[in-house]
Amino acid sequence: MIFETHAHYDDEKFDKDREELLGSMKENGIEYIINCCAAVEDIEKTVQLMETYDFLYGAVGVHPDDAEKMSPQVLEKIEKLCGHPKTAAIGEIGLDYYWHKEAEVQNLQKTWFRKQMELARKEQLPFLVHSREAARDTLEIVREFMKAGMYGGIIHCFSYGKEIAREYLDMGLLLGIGGVVTFKNAKKLKEVVEYAPLEQLVLETDSPYLAPEPNRGKRNSSLNLPYVAEAIGEIKGITAQEVVKVTNKNAKKLFNIPN
């Protein structure tokens, strides 16, 4: 059974068939799903999902794209949700400089990234980190917190090279691998997957985004994860079944979900 560590089923792209799609997960080999908050206004949607589906857990936090909407009140709301029995992580948090080149906005992102990492440390919850075109700043902040008693976490949708991967792996963190690994031009990511121990990889989709081949460009869902497992298996010279087995174990250990 597959453990999906990062999806956004609260997204409007699932509004027409969300119930039907999620209802089909177990029969299609998806054991657990972590639904990740992104936008401030969507936090309650994740709570509703994790209270509706027994196999779905939530990560609570705010994406760097929404840093300008953050406030002490929003942070307090996230902190309260840490006490929910199905809150599995703090996320999706981090830095994204792709759309945000202004120093003022980048500094704001770093401020709220640190505050949410501090919350993860306080609550002893794993964190799910988004990093896009912000490799060094993200690494610096993660390293800063990992020195001070953090529980652990995932670098979501890992997109950097082996040098950065090594830094995170040496800290004991996991790398989230999704549909990009199936792309023909994903040479850098394939090298990272080959290099990283399987015990430090987890499967994810970032649904509804980043669908793997042969469904690239379409709406993504957890049902596409077998393609990701197969691609990882080919790179590492093992079966897709072994990839599923080990990554499932990795995720359950991180999120403290028993077998």
Q: 58 — phi, psi (to 5°)?
A: -120, 150
The confidence score (pLDDT) of residue 149 equals: 80
Instruction: Please answer whether residues 89 and 117 qualify as being in contact, where contact means their C-beta atoms are separated by less than 8 angstroms.
Output: no
118: helix, strand or coil? helix
Domain that holds residue 243: 2-255
Q: Where are the alpha helices (DSSP H) in the chain?
A: 18-23, 43-52, 72-81, 103-123, 135-146, 162-170, 187-195, 225-236, 240-255
CATH at residue 194: 3.20.20.140
Which tokens hold the place of 17? 């068939």
Q: What is the pLDDT of residue 258?
A: 83
Q: Give CA–CA dist 208/36, Å, rounded.
A: 12
* pLDDT value at residue 72: 97
| Predicted TM-score (pTM) of this structure | 0.97
Q: What is the pLDDT of residue 148?
A: 76
pLDDT value, residue 177: 98
First to last CA, the chain: 11
10-residue stretch averages of pLDDT, the chain, 259 residues long? 98 97 98 96 95 98 96 97 97 95 95 98 97 97 91 96 97 98 97 98 98 97 98 98 98 93
What does the longest C-alpha to C-alpha distance in the chain come to? 49
User: Total domain count for the chain?
Assistant: 1
pLDDT computed for residue 83 by the predictor: 96
Helix axes 225-236, 187-195, angle to 10 degrees: 70
Q: Give the strand order in the sheet containing 174-177.
A: 2-7, 30-36, 56-60, 87-96, 127-132, 153-155, 174-177, 201-203
CA 154 to chain centre: 6
For residues 190 and 201, the answer to whether their CB atoms sit within 8 Å is no
